[in-house]
Structure 1
Amino acid sequence: MTYKIAFFDIDGTLVNEEKVVPQDTIDAIRELKAAGVEPVIASGRAPYFIKPLAELLGIDSFVCLNGALAVYRGKTVYKRVIPRTSIETLVALAEQHQHTLVYEGEHDFFANRADCPLVTESVLSLKVELPGTDSEFWRTNEVLQLFLHCESHEDALYDALLDDFTFIRWHRGALDVLPYGGSKAQGMEAMLRELDIPVAESIAFGDGLNDKEMLRFAGLGIAMGNSHPELLPFADYVTTSVDDRGIRNGLKHAGLIA
């Protein structure tokens, strides 16, 4: 199979635990581009979180916010906004349990209350700036994803909202909140349609729970050696870890670089 496009998760895939891109990964992406294959970032992160990495790797297309936004070389090809009626229900329930929400728009993000320790801990773990505070942001702005800040033993408090949202834990104190059924695969599908590339000619790399649909959807789904164990059944191939030439070895397996 000749692959034309490759989608890459960020945390645990392109960057390691220290949020550093290994030099071998930088070199492998450069070789991939030289071979005429389009690299695309596919992340749960918002676009304002990925700009430095994209510039470092010379990647100008991305699927972000867990598939809610897909941009190909500056052109938006897909956007899924969470209905305000759904957010209103979540806001009320989070307020009842005194849990902080962070609203993620296309261009900025805001917490609904200041000085939440779980916000500080989880967001700073991404090596990005903390959000501002604006409890009313969702009322007048498009929200594409939220963070819900609670601990894992409290997840079940939100089971009543599972018809409206998909919840994915990414930190001990934070969940991604997506519209029901949302995933990176939706943004990938829109980009492939825009570029008229068959799904079979795409590959994807990931390591986390929010990569299940992406790996299953791609023509070739590659899990990193450091992946969450629950991701592995969704992969066609398991490469080595991010710090052990994982991207290079996966691209070699796909026949895209030497």
Structure 2
Amino acid sequence: MEMGEKSVIFFDIDGTLLREDKTLPTSTKKAIFALKEEGHEVAIATGRAPFMFEDIREELDIQTYVSYNGQYVVLNGDVLYTNPLHTEALIRLTEEAVSHEHPVVFMDHADMKANVPPEHSFITESIDSLKIAHFPAHDPHYYKGRDLYQSLLFCPEGSEERYERNYPEFDFIRWHPLSVDILPKGGSKAIGIEKIVEKLGYPKERQYAFGDGLNDIEMLSEVYNSVAMGNAVDKVQSVAKYVTKSVEEDGIYHGLKLVGLLK
């Protein structure tokens, strides 16, 4: 296959590669390896931290990824781009959160630490829903002397509005009834993808992305061949070029056939 015929394909994880119960469909695994055998570049684009999907990278043999919704980007195992949080604003936000009894978890590329004992019910309920092996330990000063790429603010729905008003340095994306992602303002998976495709030199016609969540909207809007999963909400489906079946119905396999990457 000539370079001009090779493509790069970015896959979200939760609700795209993985079912709701966090299992990987056999058809998806076979489809990913079929792409690789054809010489295509396969990458991940996720809101997760790098340490939250090591198992998937290993199982699918993927070394290129956009993590933290674009804030930490790795190409073939090497860090290509980072966009850390504004430290001083994060310290102020954490102080305000403490006064409202809203826990905060600090996250870098390697680990996550909570500013309160992590047995707090808001933390356990939301982190447990991810079904991951990692759970934050307690270190209220984890922000000192290191770059953080995301934080988690634990607060009931609606109470994040105060923080949105007070901290314009950040974007706030709710992912659980009790938890909100704190990200650098304007960061997105689309920016992380742009860094990778610039480096690899794929033309826009050979770029593909699959996603299902609200944090995939920029990616699906900007990647030329975008595919929304059948389980995505209407708002996400409306920005994609194609819509495949749901993750529960072998959506990745069907989507790759739909766009002509698999026969």
Query: TM-score per shorter chain, which class?
Result: over 0.9
Q: How does 1:84-123 map to 2 (within 5 A)?
A: 84-114=87-117, 115-123=119-127
Structure 1 position 46 matched with structure 2 position 58 = no
Q: Which residue of 2 aligns with 1:194?
A: 199
Deviation at 1:200, TM superposition (A): 3.4
SS in 2 for 1:139: coil
How many residues are treated as equivalent by the alignment? 258
Q: How does 1:143-182 map to 2 (within 5 A)?
A: 143-161=148-166, 163-182=168-187
Q: 1:138 aligns with which of 135, 143, 149?
A: 143
Residue 172 of structure 1 aligns with an amino acid whose one-letter code is: P
For normalisation by structure 2, the TM-score amounts to 0.94
Deviation at 1:173, TM superposition (A): 1.2
Runs of 4+ in 1 over 4 A off after TM superposition: none
Contiguous gaps of at least 5 residues in structure 2: none
Q: Which residue of 2 aligns with 1:248?
A: 253
Structure 1 position 124 matched with structure 2 position 128 = yes
Work out whether residues 171 and 184 of structure 2, in 8 Å CA contact, stay in contact via their aligned partners in 1.
yes
Deviation at 1:88, TM superposition (A): 1.6
Q: Please, which moves more after superposition, 137-146 or 226-235?
A: 226-235
The whole-number CA distance in structure 2 between the counterparts of 1:127 and 1:36 is 32
Work out whether residues 3 and 256 of structure 1, in 8 Å CA contact, stay in contact via their aligned partners in 2.
no
1:150-202 Cα shifts (integer Å, max 9, x gaps) = 12121212121352111111111111111000111111111111112233321
Q: Which residue of 1 aligns with 2:39?
A: 36
Residue 161 of structure 2 aligns with an amino acid whose one-letter code is: A
What percentage of aligned pairs have identical amino acids?
A: 38
SS in 2 for 1:247: helix
SS in 2 for 1:234: coil
Distance 1:228 1:162, change over 3 A: farther
Structure 1 position 62 matched with structure 2 position 82 = no
For normalisation by structure 1, the TM-score amounts to 0.96
The whole-number CA distance in structure 1 between the counterparts of 2:240 and 2:256 is 14
1:77-100 Cα shifts (integer Å, max 9, x gaps) = 111111211212211221222111
Deviation at 1:228, TM superposition (A): 2.5
Contiguous gaps of at least 5 residues in structure 1: none
SS in 1 for 2:143: helix
Work out whether residues 86 and 169 of structure 2, in 8 Å CA contact, stay in contact via their aligned partners in 1.
no
Deviation at 1:2, TM superposition (A): 4.9
Residue 130 of structure 2 aligns with an amino acid whose one-letter code is: L
Q: 1:235 aligns with which of 240, 248, 252?
A: 240
